[in-house]
Structure 1
Amino acid sequence: MQLARINKGFQKFVGSVYIQSIQAAFYGAMPFIIVGSLFLLLGSLPINGYTNWLTGIVGKTGLNALNTGYSVCMGMMTLYIIIYMANMICQFKGIDRLLGISVSLATFLLASPIKINDGVSYLDLTSFSSAGMFTSFFTTIFSLKILELIVKHQNPKSMSAIPDNVRKAFTALVPIFVIVAIFIAINYFFAATEFKTLYGFFSTIIQKPFTHFAGSLPMMMLFTLIEALLWVMGVHGSNIVLSVTQPVLLALADENLKHGAHNIINIQFYSHYMKLGGFGATIGLCLLCLFWAKSERYKSIGKLGIIPGIFNINEPMIFGLPVILNPIFAIPFVITPLVMCLVAYFATYIGLVPVTNGVVIPWNTPIIISGFLISGWQGAVLNVVQVIICIAIGYPFFKKADNQAYAEEQAKKQAAETKEEPTA
């Protein structure tokens, strides 16, 4: 009963309009983030002499062109997040999507800092990067909530005789005026404070402290433990935890990429050093099933799971073993990602492996290749060592389950043979 109540509570949290919208926003913006990172990676592969070789071919102009691909994709990720998030909220709330997206973009721009240089005003593009994500969450949700309230109290029948395009324009006037006026008032309030803008407030009071807090080793361990326990209980733990941690992990990777920061924990660390074969680092169990299983059951699971596992897809393992509510496999499923976190963290901390470069590559990039792309050959070697550790952690639990399955299969086989023997 208690487990069902907890499950229901988590499902309600994940199913809320705004959590789903944030998740949808990141899924929608992720191709832009990855493509932008890949353009930057093309100009700086972790191979000695590569950049100089490429410069000799395309020149500095060519390298700058590759950097432009990064700037308009990952460098402006917040704008794409706003568009996808606003689109999803409008779908849920039944609001005109183009109006909702436009209002969300306008309010974010109003909340962003404006700099003046030689009498010329311009927007600070820093706020369009990962630094503006938390501000964008507030401006989008708050402005669309106001828009929803105003639209509900409008009477569309009063303009039924007006052409549709004209009617839409006139009905949008009131909500746009009210929302812009509210954010101008917010600007006026913050201009008199040390924060200067709403963006400055969220950046100083919320985003920076939360990023530092959530990007620490103890918090990464805690989030990982919660995620693992949710999976074991039958709840999609990654959806829940990532809705909180993904903005932070992306921001930490972006700091490494753009500003040369040394954030050990970030989205690359999480995706490619902790999720070998998928969450729970199940690649070890997959290899054990494939090469060391005596039972036909686990041999089949290994064959089914190995190809997806190489690409960090582990549903065949989670539901085939199974992991959910299974006291044998739940233990390595919880322990292994925590050990992977510690191994990768201290290998980086003591300098055996370089801090990840901040390039966001697809989460399903094959193991070892992913380690190379984010930390050079040392990252690839670390992946190999981690796979060996995954196998070692999972072996006693796998052996126990495999022996049980093998004994059951042999018992069934003997029973079938006994039935087939002719009676005297």
Structure 2
Amino acid sequence: MNKFMDMLENVLMPVADKLNNNRYLTALRNGFMVALPLIIFGSMFVVIANLPFLDELIGEEAFATYQDLLGPASASTLSIMGLFVIMGIGYKMVEQRGGESVYGAAVAVASFLILTPQVVEDTAGGIPTNVLGAEGMFLGIFTAFFAAEIYQAFVKRDLTIKMPAGVPDAVSRSFSALIPIALTLTIFLVVRIIFGFTPFETVQEFIYTIIQEPLTALGSGLPATLIAVLLIQVFWFFGLHGQIIVNSVFDPIWYALNDQNLSAYQAGEELPNIVTKQFIDTFIVGIGGSGMTLAVLIAILLVAKSRQLKEIGKIATPPGIFNVNEPVIFGLPIIMNPLVIIPWLLAPVVVAFVTYMFMSVGIVPRPAGIIVPWTTPVLLSGYMATGNQIMGAVMQLINMAIVFIIWLPFLKVMDRQYYDNEQSEK
């Protein structure tokens, strides 16, 4: 066991450390955090707009009017969430370098819009909302990275307009950003013109064909999902926030898949994807936090005899209900604890496999693309994520039972060890 742990530490720790400190992944993660409140707001109104049995209670015509009235809530947030992510990435990229972060956000959005076809159904002067959402997110992410870097490069070369003393600070900063922004946007305009002479015609089409489509197909499959879930657990075991590290890579894929399901759900069509952002967040992470530790806490409360585990159960269960599990991760402990490495790594992988199978055969409905707030308690989150379907909550119960069964023998061993130590100290 010690040799295995040493091998994992020697191989994964350097990689994880580089990922954790990579400025691009950090900006990507923080960019999603900027957009998260807006995404959750839109998702809440998707749930409210699709309450079960409401069409039967008020009639189909009234229900359609009701949905039309609430539609702008999701259309102005979820449907264009890529725009908010781009803004957040540009802001954070420039902020990391100590620059004027608001101009980082502005230049990232403007650069993306320059690359975006401004035609809707052969009518000039419009921007299709689908490219402002998850579908255009890959291009948006790359654009935000490059735009922020190019802007900062021009600023560092002091290609700025210096205003005389006495000019208001806001005006002075605006003129200082003028030349770097103009040069940056000019570069992206040239890129747009060049792509207009290629078979792809637009940068969006190039990104979607060459990068996004293959990665999305990979990320939607079971093997890649199981690997991602396992890596989350491995990183956490060594004291690194596995979810942040892995999500930095997979979130653009999972959100794109999520958006496809949301569009199908709102149109009343069959949901195309099993693996989405909510598949991970609701049916794996959203059951007590990373490692699904709410079921572990229930097992502790039921079987623990040692004072240490009993106290951990009492302290960690209330926050665990809302998917905050740092008390159990650091209090059990889970980090670098060889007694728990097997259930810690195994349980979420088994749950991901079982959930995928249940959804693939239709026993449990697929996630409807609704972003449920991460602090939503178990059962309610499963119900909401599947479009108000009770089987979503049932699936979470099954998952908790799986985790409980896998963890139980290891907890008993740990509890016996703690109990014997406590008795010997008396």
In the superposition, the TM-score normalised over structure 2's length comes to 0.91
* 1:194 equivalent among 181, 196, 199: 199
Q: Out of 318-327 and 165-174, give the one that drifted further.
A: 165-174
1:349 equivalent in alignment to 2:354: no
How far has the Cα of 1:172 moved from its partner?
3.3
The residue that corresponds to 1:217 in the other structure is 222
Q: How does 1:386-401 map to 2 (within 5 A)?
A: 386-401=399-414
> What is the percent sequence identity of the aligned residues?
32
User: 2 CA distance for matches of 1:158 and 1:68?
Assistant: 43
Letter in 2 for 1:64: D
Residues 323-368 of structure 1 show CA distances to partners (whole Å, capped at 9, x for unaligned) of 1111111211110000110111111111111111111111121111
The residue that corresponds to 1:309 in the other structure is 320
The residue that corresponds to 1:109 in the other structure is 113
Q: Secondary structure at the match of 2:315?
A: helix
User: 2 CA distance for matches of 1:227 and 1:399?
Assistant: 25
The residue that corresponds to 2:3 in the other structure is none
User: 2 CA distance for matches of 1:80 and 1:55?
Assistant: 36
Q: How does 1:290-309 map to 2 (within 5 A)?
A: 290-309=301-320
Letter in 2 for 1:62: Y
Over aligned residue pairs, what C-alpha RMSD do you find?
A: 2.1
The residue that corresponds to 1:150 in the other structure is 154
Query: Is contact 1:43-1:51 (8 Å) kept?
Result: no
How far has the Cα of 1:56 moved from its partner?
6.1
User: 1 CA distance for matches of 2:102 and 2:117?
Assistant: 25
List alignment gaps of at least 5 residues for structure 1.
414-424
Query: Is contact 1:328-1:397 (8 Å) kept?
Result: yes
1:252 equivalent in alignment to 2:265: no
Q: Secondary structure at the match of 1:277?
A: coil
The residue that corresponds to 1:288 in the other structure is 299
User: 2 CA distance for matches of 1:5 and 1:223?
Assistant: 17
Letter in 2 for 1:68: P
The structure having more radius of gyration, on CA atoms, is 1
Letter in 2 for 1:44: N
Query: Is contact 1:43-1:54 (8 Å) kept?
Result: no
* 2:21 equivalent among 1, 15, 18: 15
Residues 389-424 of structure 1 show CA distances to partners (whole Å, capped at 9, x for unaligned) of 2111101100111111111122222xxxxxxxxxxx
1:25 equivalent in alignment to 2:25: no
In the superposition, the TM-score normalised over structure 1's length comes to 0.91
The residue that corresponds to 1:207 in the other structure is 212
* 2:277 equivalent among 259, 262, 267: 267
Letter in 2 for 1:7: M
1:53 equivalent in alignment to 2:57: yes
* 2:370 equivalent among 359, 366, 370: 359
Letter in 2 for 1:226: L
How far has the Cα of 1:220 moved from its partner?
0.5
List alignment gaps of at least 5 residues for structure 2.
1-5
The residue that corresponds to 2:49 in the other structure is 43
Query: Is contact 1:21-1:85 (8 Å) kept?
Result: yes
Residues 89-108 of structure 1 show CA distances to partners (whole Å, capped at 9, x for unaligned) of 12112222332222111110
How far has the Cα of 1:71 moved from its partner?
0.5
Q: CA 1:60/1:301 → structure 2, altered by over 3 Å: closer, same or farther?
A: same
Query: Is contact 1:279-1:314 (8 Å) kept?
Result: yes
